[in-house]
Structure 1
């Protein structure tokens, strides 16, 4: 009998799982843990076939817990649930913990049962790696998990091949392309009335990046659309464990708040330039920025020119629009 370990620091969640799984999945043996430490000990002594864990376990982080479990239970499959349906949570769960599925709460028990069934099938397929059909099935399930993880997010999300052909997109991506149609070419695309951008191809710098840039791991890239005079951010994640390697996931975070460290890394700013950009985003005044940083106005002006050059912006209004993303939504509400 397959064994499933469920971990959550909320006793009410565990009790609900216990009741629902007893009714919906009597064919499996379930165990439940409130304590991440006891869950880790249980897995080290007797690894479960599938682990369902919350992301926020109070005293522990679900991603770190699963990573440690993987060190001695690599054949187990891991499913993560979280009340924080955000991009960072999903990316960490997929890229660091390599979870099989990622769900946001509240999650219907039927979806969890179906995911456990798929996870057990994938585990069986991996045990017989000599079977080409089983490998293809496991790869398909990985693709399905990836889509499910991001389809619930508001961020625009695409799965594309190396030539920029769009193979999958969520509703956020459809909204993005309605506003930014110049980024894609639909000439020659197979018509799909429900998803008109499916099978379209990325043009311009997005398409060029996919075809020519060597992206070995998750990478956040700044892209400029000359026709629109704007800059967007694209998060690229190569997909290497599919039946057909070479696919990439793109997250276009055109609405997401941008942190100072992100700005420094993307545009190759110095720490002083990044700090200046952060201050300037809150109040686009050289005098205020200079006073805040304790530097001369002329020095602040040099920093501004350098930021202009490195971010490829020629107009202050365009630069301010980019820098404004440094500020959190809460800061904007306070104004």
Structure 2
């Protein structure tokens, strides 16, 4: 048997598999790589081939990524699992961590060097990881995130928040939790806008972004998106970033990591800071029509279809720190 590490890639989109095959070709000298478009076939491959790392999509027809990983674990708990996902389903992420011990999450599209780093880290973890309790996972998976998360219903009532969300709320500046646990902004105008974005996300599925002004600091950036599979109560998630404490990748970093042009990266960076498309156009000295054209090109290159999805993607990118190290949102 070859001494190369065995890596199994699973995605129902053959175009994604083809892109992975091309981008990871330089690793062929040290990795054996198998690519499967069927999760059911991937389970059988796992049984006979015994890969050391499995890289999978989450949303697939028939058997989803979580179900596939659980089936593989019942065969034998010998692999590490990495998930590539384009979704923002909070419940799915928690279930995947609790039930399947996912080693690492990456947001699509994932730069190949980050995926290589993740696979190398998985290969360097030979012993089975201890299984924490669900409460411990909630602490480590959500409370360690550098982005505040608030889950709300259609009336903007807060149903859940992670630790950073609680810290922002306790500060009472930018995002405020008022009577009946209804979240609001610092001004009536911003509150009205925030509530409208929540309703729009839940009722129509349209994501949105805005800035939440603060009295003594830079505005918070918030992306609002509907949560799928939320049970009987429709829910939306607010992803809130503090640019003073969670640096956003600069335009040059966005350009390099997402393979955008300089003009496209400037626009994407402005929107990640919470500017609307019109505001970003004014800041960049271009017309709104030109900005819309750039945005279409950005969506085509990143595989995203909405501004909030693009903002989440940019917030998940590694950020170069002053000392030369990198901060990464896993």
TM-score range normalised by the length of the shorter chain? 0.3 to 0.5
Q: Name the one with the larger helix percent.
A: 1
Flag the structure with larger Rg: 1
Larger RCO (CA within 8 A; separation ≥ 6): 2
TM-score, with length taken from structure 2: 0.43
